[in-house]
Amino acid sequence: MAPSATAGITERVDVFWHEGMLNHDAGKGVFDTGVDPGFLEVLEQHPENAERVKNMVSILKRGPISPYISWHLGRPAQVPELLSFHTQEYINELVEADRVGGKKICDGTFLNPGSWDAALLAAGTTLSAMKHILDGHGKLAYALVRPPGHHAQPTQADGYCFLNNAGLAVQLAMDSGCRKVVVIDIDVHYGNGTAEGFYRTDKVLTISLHMNHGSWGPSHPQNGSVDELGEGDGFGYNLNIPLPNGTGDDGYECAMNELVVPAVNKFLPDMIVLVVGLDSSSLDPNGRLCLTRVGYRNIGHIARSLADVHSIGRLLIVQEGGYQITYSALCLHAVLEGVLSLPEPLLLEDVVSYPEDKALAVKVVESIKKYHTEKVPFLKDA
Ligand SMILES: [Zn+2]
């Protein structure tokens, strides 16, 4: 790299990645079903495919943000490491599924030959990224991983996820001396797995902004509704922000500023984990919340600002969904620009847009805020 390309760059994002994660192949079919109905000539790849992540890797290597990126090799998790979040019985099920050559674990979630090794790499790579921060080697780290993890519950795979990569990293932070960790999940789907893992503790605040999709069956019994607030000591420490279709950049900004920032400011975390799904974008086949790169950039910047205030700038970013092969990569670029607090966008602004419904989004955010301030003790009068 020419010296001029890095002139003036004082910050970097440490990206953790391992190409072995490309070996997970969830198959083909109609959308994510794995089913060939017999009447379609062209079956599509499962949405959670290697191509989507190849473009994410590529844009960070070759896009204008590349001088700000430092690359680190990921590694597989060891089975005992998984037991901080998952049960032995559940892990045994996955190991057995791998041993017999793979199987459909639940709707849309296929463990095929190569999948288990990829899942171990995703978990281990996320743990490495968190450890890098905990050891003081960097403050901004991004785990570029697949298969995704935030739907994986302690005893249940769900929604393309086997192991909860972010949840394992949060637990590592807690086990390494962090007092309180906040997880801000902006994937378009409810981060039910992470919520479930920390549902009964007041030491981990899980916040999820998502489409109001509700439960989708036995593997995802949670609704993601505002009244799922946590239990026992954890009551009030799971904040769900179900957003209306068409929420868009301004609606998300409202939700971040009105709900997420005040909650984090009251919670006082010493570690922040931003769980990033690029399926909240305006072009994603799996989502309808219509963020553009402007919105993603803004959210990245808000998360960074919270880290500067609360966690001495320490921010772990974990990759989740995002299924539009081009736009996911562009939106990832925007998130990291925001996290780096770059003054101007490095890529040209969007040529795509979708109508936003800011008025409705603001109304919904206000009603969730009223609900939180009535029901959540630590947010009273927030
Ligand atoms: Zn998702």
Answering whether pTM is above 0.75, one says yes
The average confidence (pLDDT) of the chain is 96
Ligand 1 centroid to Cα of residue 278, in Å, is 8
* Residue 303: how many other CB atoms lie within 10 Å: 27
Indicate whether 350 pLDDT > 80.
no
How many whole angstroms from its chain centre is CA 311? 19
pLDDT score for 9: 80
pLDDT score for 1: 45
Contact 338, 65 (CB under 8 A): no
Indicate whether 5 pLDDT > 70.
no
Provide the 3-class DSSP secondary structure of residue 343.
coil
The Cα–Cα gap between 313 and 95 comes to 38
Percent of the chain at pLDDT above 70? 97
The pLDDT tens digits of the residues spanning 107-120 come to 999 999 999 999 99
Nearest to 166 by CA among 147, 178, 7: 147
**Does 151 participate in catalysis according to the annotation?**
yes
Degrees, nearest 5: CA angle 359-364-367:
130
Percent of the chain at pLDDT above 90? 94
Contact 324, 284 (CB under 8 A): yes
* Residue 219: how many other CB atoms lie within 10 Å: 21
Burial of 254 (0-12, 13-18, 19+ CB in 10 A): buried
- In this prediction, residues 128-154 reach a mean pLDDT of 98
Nearest to 162 by CA among 202, 191, 122: 122
The pLDDT tens digits of the residues spanning 224-249 come to 999 999 999 999 999 999 999 999 99
* Residue 261: how many other CB atoms lie within 10 Å: 18
Ligand 1 centroid to Cα of residue 268, in Å, is 27
Going from the C-alpha of 272 to that of each of 206, 268, 269, 308, the distances in angstroms are 10, 10, 7, 10
pLDDT score for 7: 64
pLDDT score for 127: 99
pLDDT score for 356: 79
- In this prediction, residues 161-184 reach a mean pLDDT of 99
Ligand 1 centroid to Cα of residue 211, in Å, is 9
Q: Which residue in 24, 46, 150, 151 is the catalytic one? A: 151
Indicate whether 369 pLDDT > 70.
yes
Indicate whether 64 pLDDT > 50.
yes
Ligand 1 centroid to Cα of residue 289, in Å, is 11
Indicate whether 381 pLDDT > 90.
no
pLDDT score for 382: 67
Alpha-carbon dihedral 121, 122, 123, 128, rounded to 10 degrees: 80
